[in-house]
Chains A and B, each alone.
Chain A
Amino acid sequence: MTTSDRTQSVPASSEAGTALPPAVGYGRYALRQIGYRLGQLIILLLGITALLFFLLRLTGDPALVLVGDLASDEAIERVREFYGLDKPLIVQYLLFLGQAAQLNFGTSLQSFRPALDVVLEHLPATLLLAAAAVTINIVVALVVGTWLGYRPDRPERRAGLLAVIVSQGIPGFVVGLILIQLFAVTWGLLPSIGIDGPKSLILPALTLASFLLPRVIRLTATNVDQAMRQDYVRTARASGARPRSVLGRHALPNAVIGTVALIGVQFGFLLSGSLITETLFAWPGIGLLLIEAVRALDYPIVQASVFVIALLVFVVNTATDLLFPLLDPRLRSQRA
Chain B
Amino acid sequence: MTVSEQEVKRAGLTRQAIGRLYRGVPGLLIAGFIGLIITIVLTIWGVDLSGFDPGAQSLADRLLPPLTDGHLLGTDQLGRDVFSRVSVGFRWSVPVGLLATAIAATIGSLAGVAAAWKTGWVRSVLTRMMDVAISFPYLVLAVTIIAVVGHSFWALVLTLGLVSWVSFARVIYAETLRLREREYLVAARLLGNSALRIATTYVARGLRHTIAVMYAFIFADLLVAEAGLSFLGLGAPLGAPSWGNMLAASREHLFTAPWLMYAPAAAVILVVLTANLIGDGLIQHWGRGTTQH
The B127-161 residues at the A interface (CB cut-off 8 A) are 127-128, 130-132, 134-141, 143-145, 147-149
Identity of the chain A residue whose Cβ is nearest the Cβ of B130 in the assembled complex: A13
Q: Is the CB–CB distance between A294 and B14 below 8 Å?
A: no
Q: Does B61 contact A (CB under 8 A)?
A: no
| Closest CB in chain A relative to B173 CB, distance in Å | 8
Q: Is the CB–CB distance between A169 and B137 below 8 Å?
A: no
Q: In the complex, A59 Cα to B255 Cα: how many Å?
A: 37
Q: Provided the pairs A2-B221, A44-B132, A272-B139 are in contact, do residues A18 and B2 lie with their beta carbons within 8 angstroms?
A: yes
Q: Does A99 contact B (CB under 8 A)?
A: no
Chain B residues near A161 (CB-CB < 8 A)? 21, 25
Q: Is the CB–CB distance between B11 and A40 below 8 Å?
A: no
Q: Is the CB–CB distance between A9 and B3 below 8 Å?
A: no
Q: Does B24 contact A (CB under 8 A)?
A: yes
Q: Please report the total number of B residues contacting A with Cβ < 8 Å.
A: 74
Q: Does A205 contact B (CB under 8 A)?
A: no
Q: Is the CB–CB distance between B132 and A40 below 8 Å?
A: yes
Chain B residues near A173 (CB-CB < 8 A)? 227-228, 231, 247
Q: Is the CB–CB distance between A56 and B272 below 8 Å?
A: no
Chain B residues near A44 (CB-CB < 8 A)? 132, 135-136
A 237-259 binary contact with B (CB < 8 Å = 1; else 0): 00000000000000000000000
Q: Give chain B's interface secondary structure class.
A: helix
Q: In the complex, A224 Cα to B251 Cα: how many Å?
A: 40
The B197-255 residues at the A interface (CB cut-off 8 A) are 214, 217-218, 220-221, 224-225, 227-228, 231-234, 247, 250-251, 254-255
Q: Does A75 contact B (CB under 8 A)?
A: no
Q: Does A135 contact B (CB under 8 A)?
A: no
Looking at A158, A169, A302, the one whose CB has the most chain B CB atoms below 10 A away is A169
| Closest CB in chain B relative to A167 CB, distance in Å | 9
Identity of the chain A residue whose Cβ is nearest the Cβ of B244 in the assembled complex: A173
A 40-81 binary contact with B (CB < 8 Å = 1; else 0): 100110011001100110110000000000000000000000
Q: 9 interchain pairs (CB within 8 A)?
A: A13-B7, A43-B128, A59-B147, A149-B21, A162-B25, A169-B220, A169-B272, A268-B136, A276-B232
State the 9 A-B residue pairs at the shortest beta-carbon distance, nearest first. Answer: A169-B273, A272-B139, A13-B127, A55-B148, A1-B167, A272-B137, A2-B221, A169-B272, A271-B137
Additional pairs, 10, CB under 8 Å, beyond known A158-B24, A173-B231: A1-B218, A44-B135, A48-B136, A59-B147, A171-B228, A226-B13, A276-B231, A291-B232, A313-B137, A314-B135
